[in-house]
A and B are shown apart, each in its own frame.
Chain A
């Protein structure tokens, strides 16, 4: 080495990413103009994220509603291919996801890579469910009369999802993908403290074949945005998983938030997926375990059709 100066001259200043919301296939800032500092697990500044507002949530619901006919009406085979495509695009960004997950969740890079791989595989798992669900949870019913009678699952519509606070990518994928697989569209609120993988996921969604509005991602506070989504008359269902750890308080405050959101959702009789809470504690699920059907079936309606048999 001839001189220290050479090092600084050759070092390139990196181009940082602006993290914004993802609504209707576009990346707007919050209409409120608010942002908040995101730090890594050690407390170092990483980026400013948009702090979504009530109006952002409403815009997201409008975008989501507009996307319902196309997505719920697509063939299950088509939906499966589109979801698989998301996994393909995620794979190409695996290192970026791993860096964000490692920083945000305080994991070693190898651990973060494991979580990212699981998230991609989880997406593939749900992609494969789209054209099998109807056979597994639907069927024909042998009624006592001359009728052909069958039951099929249908998407409930717009699902608001409060994504887990701890598992910023695997957890997020584990709550968004099952709703999509069943034909629902989603408005998701990311982990508040670890929002960056959600926006990178939005970039993967925007560059795969998922139509705009099918997934809308908001960064910010579930405790702030959740009540608006729970009350919104054009939201059909709400997943309260991300209530765990959503308040600055303890479990009791989280439980109170969950109760309040569920009571608000009752106003329009929304389908509610309760958070994993017992009377005494709120627990984060084991996101690595195989999920089962319940995250899909929670947001499916069963339609039964009767048709006479005769010549």
Chain B
């Protein structure tokens, strides 16, 4: 499946699908509790391939009793093994896991693209290499925590409840599990309902690594399972990545408890292009910013702010570039944009895009062939967007870019900050001093200058304002999983 391109008919690409034979899909998957795969007591559900709607597998759902069993297993493992293990040994388990992740990387990449719908080029070159890198990075911290700046003898919290989204299933698992385990905690993790399969393959990797039972527990299910997990009285820590609405509910439920809480929530990032920016580079950055992973990225550059004097040039180049994007089979190595993760998400993208048109913005997509089956949405640009439009304010979480313009740097900053979110932002300019000045004024946790959507295990990631609190990655990411002595007597 490739796009038909109206631009001069150069050579078309032949299909180049990655083989899915490397993945040994099983008809059904079970919960991973206390080192073993067990049946769940909830209503089991099906995980489908969003690009074909074929059923990939039947997956068990954890009900409240399964959640309780998993938390108890994690508590037991914390008390009996994990917290007693010499830190260097803890680290060696994580190194071991990192190596197995590398060894099985192609299998994981194919499974991720099957279950999530993202292009194999991204799962193979971005997601899975980063997954291994996060484990490798945090493995090294396990026996060096006293040097992390959180007091001479920082202690783990205990049992961490972790709930992750469907946009980067295994990468989000790595962001959660690697620092938690390195700091000495045990975990119960719930992957998203639509993308549970790589997490369950990760459970097998834990078995291959001989990780002590109960240190990592993976329970699958929908929102009810997640709620039962974060509200379980015996968890010491909640780490959540997902929507701001759910994040709020979790913050309310954790009120009055001693559960430590970190939230990585929604975003509506501004990607600011100044008139002195190298336009071709900026266009690549804009495309990467919003169309990477079908725009299913909380830090996506979904609001393009272009300086008025170059707006026409940027728009022209952007449209030309969009015509070359290839929408289609996630397993094809030439695919740029894969499938929308679920029917539900596709519905939301369609709704908000329709609202964009109704409110007066101008919609444009390149001509492209959309497969007959599966969930698809063409790369879409809205121009003549005003800051009051819903498509400029609400997170669409899809391949939809809203283009706004500005005249002065102050106006750019004001418009960029005019959102309750504050996760990320981009700046495109040739002027170094301007980068630093604008970066310091943007209320966002990650600022990319002349680049976008870069991630690294050493680099803290997380938001300002209603994009949540706490950081993941780097030295800062450890503090989410430590009860440090440095908090002073009054904490």
B-binding residues in A (CB < 8 A): 136-137, 139, 141-145, 147, 149, 151, 154, 156, 174, 236, 241, 255-256, 258-260, 262-263, 265-269, 271, 274, 276, 278-279, 285-287, 289-295, 301-308
CB within 8 A of A145: which of B252, B440, B456, B471? B456
B212 at the interface (CB under 8 A from A): no
> Taking chain A's interface residues, is the majority helix, strand, or loop, or is none over half, making it mixed?
mixed
Are the CB atoms of B465 and A269 closer together than 8 Å? Answer: yes
Distance A156 CA – B422 CA, assembled complex (angstroms): 11
Whether B451 contacts A147 by the Cβ 8 Å rule is yes
9 A-B residue contacts at CB 8 Å? A141-B456, A144-B456, A147-B454, A241-B490, A269-B248, A269-B263, A285-B490, A293-B486, A308-B449
Cα separation A289 to B486 with both chains bound (whole Å): 12
Cross-chain contact of A301 among B435, B448, B454, B464 (Cβ < 8 A): B464
Interface centre among A149, A151, A263, A279, by most B CB within 10 Å?
A151
Given A285-B489, A305-B449, A306-B446, are A259 and B256 also a contact pair (CB < 8 Å)?
Answer: yes
Q: Are A141 and B458 within 8 A (Cβ)? A: yes
Of residues 178 to 194 in B, which have CB atoms within 8 Å of A's CB atoms?
Answer: none
The answer for the CA separation of A165 and B440 in the assembled complex, in Å, is: 37
Q: Kindly report which residue of chain A lies nearest to residue B454, judged by CB atoms.
A: A306
Number of A-B residue pairs having CB atoms within 8 Å of each other in the complex: 132
Which residues on B sit within 8 Å (CB–CB) of A304? Answer: 445-447, 459-461
Q: Measured between alpha carbons, how far is A187 from B261 in the docked complex, in Å?
A: 24
- State whether the Cβ of B133 lies closer than 8 Å to any Cβ in chain A: yes
The docked-state distance in angstroms from the alpha carbon of A266 to that of B439 is 27
- Scan residues 154-180 of chain B and give those whose CB is less than 8 A from a CB of chain A: none
Q: Given the complex of chains A and B, what is the CA–CA distance between A289 and B478 in angstroms? A: 26
B248 touches A267 (CB 8 A): yes
Closest chain B residue to A137, Cβ basis: B149
A255 to B255, CA, bound (A): 10
- Nearest first, the 5 A-B pairs at minimum CB distance are A259-B256, A285-B490, A266-B251, A262-B255, A292-B488
Chain B residues positioned under 8 Å from A145 (CB to CB): 454, 456
Residues of chain A lying within 8 A (CB to CB) of residue B4: none
A255 to B420, CA, bound (A): 30
Contact with A along B451-491 (1 / 0, CB 8 A): 10010101111101110110100111000000010111111
- Please encode chain B, from 243 to 277, with 1 for each CB lying within 8 Å of some chain A CB and 0 for all others: 01001100110111010000101000000000000
Within the assembled complex, what's the spacing in Å between the Cα atoms of A138 and B449? 19
B residues in contact with A154, CB < 8 Å = 440
Q: How far is the CA of A156 from the CA of B263 in the complex (A)?
A: 16
Could you tell me if A141 and B468 are in contact, using CB atoms closer than 8 angstroms?
A: no
**What is the CB-to-nearest-CB distance from A121 to chain B, in angstroms, rounded to a whole number?**
16
B447 close to A302 (CB less than 8 A): no
Residue of A nearest to B263 (CB): A269
Q: A139-B475, A269-B251, A307-B450 are in contact. Are A302 and B469 (CB under 8 A)?
A: no
Which residues does chain A contribute within 8 Å of B449, judged by CB atoms?
305-308
B444 within 8 A of A: yes
Report the bound CA distance from A143 to B460 in whole Å.
Answer: 11
**B445 contacts A301, C-beta separation under 8 Å:** yes
CB distance B466 to A268 under 8 Å? yes
Contact (A295, B447) CB under 8 Å given A137-B149, A141-B460, A269-B465: no
Known: A271-B469, A292-B488, A308-B450. A141 touches B474 (CB 8 A): yes
Query: Closest CB-CB distance, B95 to chain A, in whole Å?
Result: 17
Q: A151-B476, A271-B469 are in contact. List 16 more A-B contacts (CB 8 A).
A: A136-B149, A143-B454, A143-B456, A149-B459, A263-B256, A266-B252, A267-B248, A269-B466, A279-B258, A285-B490, A289-B489, A301-B464, A302-B460, A302-B476, A303-B464, A306-B459
B265 touches A269 (CB 8 A): yes
With a cutoff of 8 Å between Cβ atoms, the chain B residues found around residue A276 in the complex are: 490-491
Report yes or no: A263 in contact with B469, Cβ–Cβ below 8 A. Answer: no
Please indicate the chain A residues that have their CB under 8 angstroms from the CB of B487 in the complex. Answer: 292, 294
Contact B255 A266 (CB under 8 A): yes
Chain A residue at minimal CB-CB distance from B486: A292
A236 / chain B contacts, CB cutoff of 8 Å: 465
> What is the chain A residue whose CB lies nearest that of B474?
A141
A305 adjacent to B469 (CB under 8 Å):
no
Question: What's the minimum C-beta distance from A30 to chain B, rounded to whole angstroms?
Answer: 29
| Residues of chain B within 8 A of A137, CB atoms compared | 149
- Chain B residues whose C-beta falls within 8 Å of the C-beta of A263 in the assembled complex: 251-252, 255-256
B447 touches A303 (CB 8 A): yes
Expressed in whole angstroms, the Cα–Cα distance for A303 and B465 within the complex equals 12
Min CB–CB distance B124 → chain A (angstroms) = 17
Nearest residue (CB) in A for B265 is A269
Pair A286/B490 contact, Cβ less than 8 Å: yes
Residue of A nearest to B133 (CB): A144
